Amino acid sequence: MSNWKLPIAVVVLVTGYAVRVEAAPTVLNAGFETDTYLNGPGGTAGQNGDTITGWTIAGGTSQVGLNPFWTDGSRTAIAGTPHANNGVVPEGDQVAFLRSAASLSQIVSGFDPGTAYRLRYRENNRAGHSPGGLAVTLGGQVIVADHATTNVQGAGSFTVPYRTVVSDVFVATASAHTLSCTSTSGLDRSVLIDDVQIAPLSDALIAHWTLDETSGQTAFDSAGGNDGQLGTSPGVDAADPTINQPGKFGTAYSFTAGQNDRVDLSAHIGGLSSLATGTITGWFNASDSARGGLLNFGQAGTTDRMLVEMLGNGRIRFLVREADANVTDLETSASFEDGAWHHVAVTNDGTDTTLLIDGVEVPLGTNTDSASWFDDVTGVTSFTLGYETRTNGQFPFNGSLDDFAVFDYVLTSEQLSNVITLGAENFQGLGSVIPEPMTVLAAGLSVAGLGGYIRRRRRG
């Protein structure tokens, strides 16, 4: 079962601040478990009904059905029935299937006008047949473009999962909107769908610097308004990084160590200084192993800080110092000054800290670990990207940075894989840890494979 469902909205009071946790709109009969059909479209026997609870059928009831067909509670498919062998059902016991130009729709309630949402569902193609097609609209807006549903599992296999599809972002304009899934398949081609969920983009994305600016002196935060200043003053100066450079997603910032380039975020120290758990993610590209900070949160006049940096040997390090002592000090054994893009992520769950490069946790060896995070570094005066300053020197990064973000909770392995594949704004959803193909088809973009399997360390 998916843990993506958020059935209620609550208001939580935390140190005087009211935080509203958005409710997820409820998709009725999202797993198609309520009804039972005995045959499928085009079968010789009539269906056991022409309705699917919660959904409205259009394009002919003979073009829509439920699958698998069980002889009884033993989960044994009826031999010879269409669609009987289409892989493991991803949620519950049944999936819905559509062919020709049939559609399933319903009015979904529970939206908060002005709030952004995503839809996530599972799909497959009828085993052994040519690809079908599917498009999804919400409130009349195309959120999953018409696409071919390739045979994900391969004919005759029950072992390979369905593909997960994540929609484009949808901003609600009313409390209820119509969701419609429409087949664009020909006859004898079927699309199978299951586990249809809608969830809001979480407020857990505290800050997100895409670093996609092409002009100006501001690095904009698309999530929380923590905009950064390029260089050391509001105007152009030598410490400005070079913007509009080739990036991992869109464009990136290039930092020149000799000019002490940086993005100054110090005006927003207070907004992050209370974070006790979370995730930091970002991309770096370096061909020079000179020591330099990627993200620095600390005191300019002491050595106390929280820091993601590249060391002089090209290794990546996460460091937290308190009272001039290292309380967390994690370092990769490999070097990454190879002129290629690499993803760095650091997570803290309130018990320990994990450092991951390209989605894989690094070997820890004898490194020091603790639960220290933003909130444990007191008296912070400097918050920067691409630069570190402290009592015994300045350490500017020499290379490129892209798509840095801060979350207030530990991303699941699937969410982190989604960030690595698609960028930080696409973290939401895919909450259960299941290695399965994933595709995003909202705007014609197709990405196969979640990748980035994470080996999570437990303290013993």
State the pLDDT at residue 290: 80
State the pLDDT at residue 128: 75
State the pLDDT at residue 409: 77
> Cα angle at 123 between 117 and 124, to 5 degrees?
170
* Sheet with strand 263-264: strands edge to edge: 218-219, 228-230, 263-264, 382-385, 292-298, 305-310, 316-322, 325-331
> Cα angle at 378 between 372 and 383, to 5 degrees?
90
State the pLDDT at residue 121: 87
Class of domain 25-200: mainly beta
- Domains 25-200 and 205-426 belong to one CATH topology: yes
pLDDT (tens place) for every residue of the chain, 460 residues total: 333 333 333 333 333 333 334 457 999 999 998 887 766 554 433 444 578 999 999 988 888 888 765 544 444 555 555 565 666 677 787 889 898 899 999 999 999 998 878 788 888 888 777 888 999 999 999 988 898 887 655 444 444 457 767 677 788 999 999 999 999 987 778 888 998 989 876 657 788 999 999 999 999 988 778 899 999 999 999 999 999 999 999 899 999 998 999 999 999 998 888 888 889 999 999 988 788 999 999 887 778 899 999 998 999 999 998 888 888 999 998 999 999 999 999 998 888 899 999 999 876 655 788 888 988 888 899 999 999 877 666 889 999 999 999 988 788 787 788 889 888 765 543 322 222 333 334 333 322 222 222 222 222 2
Q: What is residue 44's DSSP assignment?
A: S
Domain boundaries, the chain: 25-200, 205-426
The pair of structure tokens assigned to 213 is 């600016």
Class of domain 205-426: mainly beta
Print burial letters for 152-170: b (CB count within 10 Å at least 16), e (below 16): bbeeeeeeebbbbbbbbbb
Question: Is residue 142 packed enough to be buried (19+ CB in 10 Å), middle (13-18) or exposed (0-12)?
Answer: middle
Strand partners, 184: none
Contact residues for 169 (Cβ-Cβ < 8 A; gap 6+): 116, 117, 118, 201, 442
